[in-house]
């Protein structure tokens, strides 16, 4: 496919005829995902979603959309929705994005630290930053 798209003399039009939605959830050390091939409405970042059927897998059913990633694979657009337990917090999202931008936290910390540890680090840096 790479050669067709980038090394072609003529214009190549890609065609993605299918959509697949993947919902990823994690709750402490429990995680699961499921796939859906049709949704009348794509949940957006920050929106709440209740999934009663996940309670047997991870013992909770109330989430919010933390992130959405689109991938184009063969003839399918794969939309991955990363769900977190609880309610969306715009202030926390702002502070986390700010800490990333100011390089107060790195990629490794974002993915390895539990959220409460990350919050403690970011909020303590924020207090020090505001005192300057």
**81/28 same-domain check:** yes
The yes-or-no verdict on residue 36 having pLDDT over 90 is: yes
**20/69 same-domain check:** yes
Q: How far apart are the first and last CA of the chain?
A: 53
Predicted pLDDT of residue 132: 46
**64/119 same-domain check:** no
**103/81 same-domain check:** no
- Number of domains observed in the structure of the chain: 2
The yes-or-no verdict on residue 131 having pLDDT over 60 is: no
**66/26 same-domain check:** yes
Predicted pLDDT of residue 93: 92
Q: What is the dihedral of CA 124, 125, 127, 130, to 10 degrees?
A: 180
In a domain, 1, yes or no: no
The yes-or-no verdict on residue 59 having pLDDT over 90 is: no
**71/95 same-domain check:** no
The yes-or-no verdict on residue 37 having pLDDT over 90 is: yes
In a domain, 49, yes or no: yes
Band of pLDDT at residue 6, cut at 50, 70 and 90: confident
The yes-or-no verdict on residue 58 having pLDDT over 90 is: no
- Give the structural domain span for 99: 90-130
- How many residues in the chain? 132
- The DSSP line for the chain is -HHHHHS-SS-------EEEEEEEEEETTEEEEEEES--SSPPPTT-EEE-GGGHHHHS--EEEEEEEEEEEETTEEEEEEEEEES---HHHHHHHHHHHHTTSS-HHHHHHS-HHHHHHHHHHHHHHHHT-
Predicted pLDDT of residue 2: 65
State the pTM of this model: 0.78
**61/99 same-domain check:** no
């Amino acid at each position: 496919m790479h050669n067709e798209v980038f090394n072609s003399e003529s214009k190549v039009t890609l065609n993605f005829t299918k959509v697949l939605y993947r919902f990823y959830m994690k709750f402490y050390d429990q995680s699961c995902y499921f796939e859906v091939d049709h949704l009348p409405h794509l949940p957006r970042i920050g929106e709440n979603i209740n999934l009663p059927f996940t309670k047997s897998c991870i013992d909770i059913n109330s989430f919010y959309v933390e992130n959405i990633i689109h991938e184009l694979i063969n003839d399918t657009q794969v939309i991955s929705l990363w769900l977190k337990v609880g309610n969306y917090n715009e202030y926390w999202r702002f502070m986390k994005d700010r800490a990333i931008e100011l390089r107060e936290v790195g990629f490794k910390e974002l993915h390895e630290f539990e959220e409460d540890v990350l919050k403690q680090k970011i909020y303590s840096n924020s207090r020090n930053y505001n005192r300057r």
